[in-house]
Structure 1
């Protein structure tokens, strides 16, 4: 069975957390089945893990290249042994396996998704005559016996399945898009892309661990609709993004706003919201520095901060609550609101200080895996630090995170860069809000302003005039066309303006 991820990403530990990957030089069933139990139990709700047999680990925890591999003469025996060992797991659990070509050799990959019938016990020694059932959990990058409070916590997880992994009888195969499914597999570099159009769609979904239940009543998991349905709002109402723009601020002018509602799969919603903001709101600014030759460049809102904020809003929202993700744009900043708020295990102090919000109870652990494979998020518990770092590097104020005592919502406020205006105007040509830098010209004196800029700097480009005036390039060109006796000689940054003596006087 082909993996739903790229083998090179596992070897380099790029898209899957390090503690979810184990390298084994050889086939050691006792040790390997401890890890299978631990990954299946998934006490931290991280989404299971991967065991790669035939690989040594270097001092940095990465795979040694070239890999050692699994000899061909051992492969059939390993697979037959696993049939017997899998029957020793209680309740029964079947890990996914695949032989992958790496450095011209075969590597045996055991994919262990988090189990829906946890906790799982396995004999401490599957090869011994006396078999004592034992529960294992992950501790960092090791698999250990669950004892004491850890054992009690594992038992308590028996009735808890994250929402995205729950089977849903409302979801049918025909609700899903084969185009979205293949597009995902192509983007992550999975070999499964080769068979999408060569086998029934349900076979591919089965290989991706998106089915659950007995053979006679197989049901798709919620995450299948979140990722591969073009209209998930028909299954989870209000799975949508609502972008609301208040040009003068919500409190100052609550009745003056525009609204744009986006629909689609979760990746489509994230990308659609980011594209809309990038095309209509995000602006780059250039500020001259008196003591330096180079200009200072910054954005009113850095895209990495918005990417992480919006992605996490869809990742952590509760899809059983019929509320949209709302993105509110005001003159002083952008607020992203999702329902509900962070887990109660996260302190108010951590929230108010904008620290890493780490929870052991993820609502949508599998959805997080998919989004990380698509490079839409960096990983678990890294969202807030990533946002704050992006704002700091842009010279922007820190983000402000707000929730209530009952954790019914979470607001992430991304403030506008202090070098930008505290007003938002409507661009008449594009019909979209645009941030305005301090001291930009008014419409009635734009022609004079353009002439002054050209006279002071004959090498200034049309694009630079557009950025400095917070107008579109099309607007600047239209106004320049109305100014007589002015012409740009050359092209790009190598050109210059020529003006007759009349204007210079």
Structure 2
């Protein structure tokens, strides 16, 4: 069985974190099965791991050339693993692949996170007298789970991430073989070589995209996220909406332009969104400096920062929420809004600092693995630091993060470089001429220029329509003018919107200095500020 990732990437610890890879010089079934058990338990929700047998470790790195395993021993090792797998309770079967490296053979063992954890295994699979133990990973080491850690491991049985859950509504015909093959080519998997000789079911099985017992196999949600051209059929509102306000939402909210709605698989949406922002929004300035050999180059928004923010929004969003990812482009900033908010294991202080958001559990851990293998994500918890570093290197102010106490949304605001604030970047008529027009048909083709073996073109069609948010704000302001003591609940009823939406609107309008609430909670009233009147009219 071929690996879903290139063996050289594993040896060089590229795309996969070091704590998910274990090097073993020789075949030691006792220690190796303890590590298999630990990866299957996946205590930190990192997505399982890989064990490379026949590779010696040198300070956390693979020593080259590899030691290898004699060819005549490979069959015996794999046959013995069939029996050792039965020593794991409940039953678990890791995937194996024999890889040719440096003229020798390496046994690669892929251990995806198990669906029926916690798992236990004999302390020594070679001895029937040994006791069963539970194992987890602690950093780059395998340790026995005891006490409170064992209690928490047992509780994890009911906490399977959403993208790893089986979905009986997803059928094999709902997935695109073209997208599957494109992914395998990008990650340089050996599955590409004999793709046409296998059924799609066999390929998906090797990618560990099925869940449940053999008699009731179900495709996992992540299969539709990655390889369906219409994932919104299973996860409503899986799309990206981009709105541009040339004069800003406060100064002139009625002057706006909506981009075509972006749909498709998650990688397709990421590429299409980034292509659109790179073409329509991002600008570079080159300034010659006297007596200096090199000119100063900077951007209104550094591409890498935008890329990380877009990937984070689609990676960490809650695909059970019926809300799109919303991107608002203003002269002073780009705001990227996704639902739901950051995990509660991330402290409020960490969110306010907007530096390092390290979650204990990931909402879509397997989706993150796919995105990382496609080089969309550098690693877990590195997105925000990368954004801040790219902004700092560009000479831009740092990004800020907003959420609420219920962690219902995640909003990251990326500021524009100061040198571009007074340029009227979004007012450049040549930039938008023939591309966005009110009430007209849009037909933009976004090409994926990274595919060396053929391009997959996504044609996005849509009509420009009035912004629902702006309309709601205008109606909300009219009601407040006539009924300044109205409650948020009554506002929601009159506008036929959810309480949460109206609460968010009132909070945003207050933060922008457009309205203010004065007096006690039950007897106070809303006041519309003078400067806001002009901006909303």
TM over 0.5: yes
2:65 equivalent to 1:54 = no
What is the aligned partner in structure 1 of residue 65 from structure 2?
A: 66
1:295 is displaced (CA, Å) by 2.7
What is the aligned partner in structure 2 of residue 353 from structure 1?
A: 353
Whole-angstrom distance in 1 between the partners of 2:371 and 2:135: 28
Whole-angstrom distance in 1 between the partners of 2:171 and 2:128: 45
2:157 equivalent to 1:158 = yes
Whole-angstrom distance in 1 between the partners of 2:278 and 2:433: 11
What is the aligned partner in structure 1 of residue 8 from structure 2?
A: 8
**Kept after mapping to 1: 8 A contact 2:89/2:121:** yes
1:116 is paired with a residue whose SS is coil
| Alignment map for 1:118-267 (pairs within 5 Å) | 118-260=117-259, 261-267=261-267
| Alignment map for 1:50-449 (pairs within 5 Å) | 50-59=50-59, 61-260=60-259, 261-289=261-289, 292=292, 294-422=294-422, 423-431=424-432
2:193 is paired with a residue whose SS is helix
Whole-angstrom distance in 1 between the partners of 2:365 and 2:328: 27
Larger Rg belongs to: 1
**Kept after mapping to 2: 8 A contact 1:425/1:433:** no
The count of aligned residue pairs is 433
Whole-angstrom distance in 1 between the partners of 2:30 and 2:232: 46
| Alignment map for 1:463-478 (pairs within 5 Å) | none
Whole-angstrom distance in 1 between the partners of 2:233 and 2:44: 31
2:96 is paired with a residue whose SS is strand
1:408 is displaced (CA, Å) by 0.5
1:37 is paired with a residue whose SS is helix
Give the unaligned 5+ runs of structure 1: 435-505
Whole-angstrom distance in 2 between the partners of 1:425 and 1:401: 23
Whole-angstrom distance in 1 between the partners of 2:341 and 2:5: 31
Q: TM-score, normalised by structure 2?
A: 0.79
What is the aligned partner in structure 2 of residue 490 from structure 1?
A: none
- Deviations 1:292-350, CA, capped at 9 Å, x for gaps: 45432100000000010100111100101111111110010100111011011111111
**Kept after mapping to 2: 8 A contact 1:330/1:424:** no
- Deviations 1:355-384, CA, capped at 9 Å, x for gaps: 210111101000000000010010100011
Whole-angstrom distance in 2 between the partners of 1:149 and 1:257: 54
1:425 is displaced (CA, Å) by 3.7
Tell me which stretches of 4 or more aligned residues in structure 1 moved more than 6 Å: none
**Kept after mapping to 1: 8 A contact 2:262/2:273:** yes
- Deviations 1:417-460, CA, capped at 9 Å, x for gaps: 011124444333442699xxxxxxxxxxxxxxxxxxxxxxxxxx
**Kept after mapping to 1: 8 A contact 2:88/2:119:** yes
Q: TM-score, normalised by structure 1?
A: 0.84
Whole-angstrom distance in 2 between the partners of 1:185 and 1:78: 28
What is the aligned partner in structure 1 of residue 476 from structure 2?
A: none
**Kept after mapping to 2: 8 A contact 1:424/1:433:** no
Whole-angstrom distance in 2 between the partners of 1:432 and 1:419: 24
Cα RMSD after superposing both structures: 1.4
1:87 is paired with a residue whose SS is helix
